Amino acid sequence: MKIKTALATALMGMSFMAASAMAVDLNMVSGATGGDLAFAQAKLADFAKDTGINVKLVPMPSSTTDQFGQYKLWLAAGNADIDIYQTDVIWAPQLADQLVDLTAAAKDVAKDHFPSIIESQTVNGKLVALPFFTDAPALYYRKDLLDKYKLTPPKTWDEMAKAAKTVMDGEKNADLQGFVFQGNAYEGLTCDALEWVKSNGGGQIVEPDGKISINNPKAAAALDRAKSWIGTISPKGVLAYQEEESRGVWQSGNSVFMRNWPYAFALGNKDDSKIKDKFDVVPLPSGGDGTTSAATLGGWNLAVSKYSKHQAEAIKAIMFLASAQTQKANALEQTHLPTIVSVYDDADVKAKQPVLVKWKDVFLAAVPRPSAPTKTKYNEVSNDFWTAVHDSLSGNGTSADNLKALEAKLTELKGDGWK
């Protein structure tokens, strides 16, 4: 008995030593939108208890454009302090060379994710990031206000503008806006404007085969339509809004409609929200005349830096964050869309967040930004596009002239082919 106890104590001591010898500290950078940081922090605390791997979160701005600029600099400098990057779906081709190949690590789980997402994170056969959650926007609308004016959720952009105006005129509340969206000059505007253009039959900026298609009358008409909202149903300040500013106005009860990603659904239904249980979502409107609604594909992934000194532990941590268990929690707590197909069939998810089941169809039909065809040039393409759109919305040149100039810029950027 004594011997056994002594042995057990010695073994415990050894395993304690093994655990403490294994303890490592990692840094992960992540944008701070909605409750994302608090969520990741809580889950990583559980992970640390189980593994001895402590992942410290380094909060970054919410804007994907600002994050991208910073990450490019760090990676170019071979920064070994950041082990894990949370990466936007559009970045894979641009950052591939500086990220670890996850193909072997993910060999048993890659098949559980939507194949299109795995494909979007695969560059020349290298899996550069594991999917964390996917994103596709919807039109948020105030059920109570539409009911009051006997309106139904709009199917076209013009119906949306008309409904917004009807409610605003009826309410006579100077704080009430009709429609808020992401109008700042950044990647978010590329997403919103791609939806206006595509849903008006104006193409996808650069088509999947690499052809530059943006200079066309339907695209210009879509931008003109969006311009007509500014200062009528949308505040002039929308030209500086990103996701969180739109959500701020919406969640304090001051907008009839909002274009936003799924995360705003869970937050809007929290106890401190003025619009709790007063809203719902429908697919974004179309341009009418036989066109169909378009939702830009978004989403976030997890990648390990090639310069990390703890790659094995970092891979363990991202496998945990990308797992079905964490994705389920992210779906339940934050209405983030899972990338693992089976999570949509989970009984808890179906019962507690039924909206995600509807949202899955929006995601499945979502339009990708042209990051695959424009390869390492995507960031410049997008920057040129959102600048042309922001100028058009601000009255700095006409939409038609701005798109013509954009076509010339993109043609020069493309040169003898996208690389």
Residues that bind ligand GLC (CB under 6 A): 64, 88-89, 135, 187-188, 191, 243, 261, 298-300
Nearer Cβ to ligand GLC (135/391):
135
Q: How far is the CB of 263 from ligand GLC (least distance, A)?
A: 8
Nearer Cβ to ligand GLC (220/281):
281
Nearer Cβ to ligand GLC (157/378):
378
Structure tokens at 250: 């919406």
Q: How far is the CB of 192 from ligand GLC (least distance, A)?
A: 9
Nearer Cβ to ligand GLC (27/120):
120
Q: How far is the CB of 191 from ligand GLC (least distance, A)?
A: 5
Question: 178 near 165, Cβ under 8 Å?
Answer: yes
Q: How far is the CB of 36 from ligand GLC (least distance, A)?
A: 9
Nearer Cβ to ligand GLC (188/235):
188
Beta-carbon contacts of 155 under 8 Å, excluding residues fewer than 6 positions away, are 285, 286
Beta bridge partners of 304: 84
Question: 313 near 24, Cβ under 8 Å?
Answer: yes
Q: How far is the CB of 352 from ligand GLC (least distance, A)?
A: 22
Question: What number of other Cβ atoms are within 10 A of residue 143's Cβ?
Answer: 13
Nearer Cβ to ligand GLC (88/384):
88
* Alpha-carbon torsion (279, 280, 281, 287), positive or negative: negative
Q: What's phi and psi for 84, nearest 5 deg?
A: -125, 135
Nearer Cβ to ligand GLC (88/112):
88
Whose CA is closest to 195, among 119, 81, 291, 293?
A: 293
Q: How far is the CB of 25 from ligand GLC (least distance, A)?
A: 27
Q: How far is the CB of 379 from ligand GLC (least distance, A)?
A: 11
- List of E strands, 263-408: 279-282, 298-304
Structure tokens at 169: 């005129």
Edge-to-edge strand ranges of the sheet holding 53-60: 53-60, 24-31, 84-88, 298-304, 130-135
- The whole-angstrom separation of Cα 185 and Cα 191 is 11
Q: Which residue is nearest to ligand GLC (CB)?
A: 298
Collapse the DSSP code of 78 into the 3-class scheme (helix H, G, I; strand E, B; otherwise coil) and give the result. Answer: coil
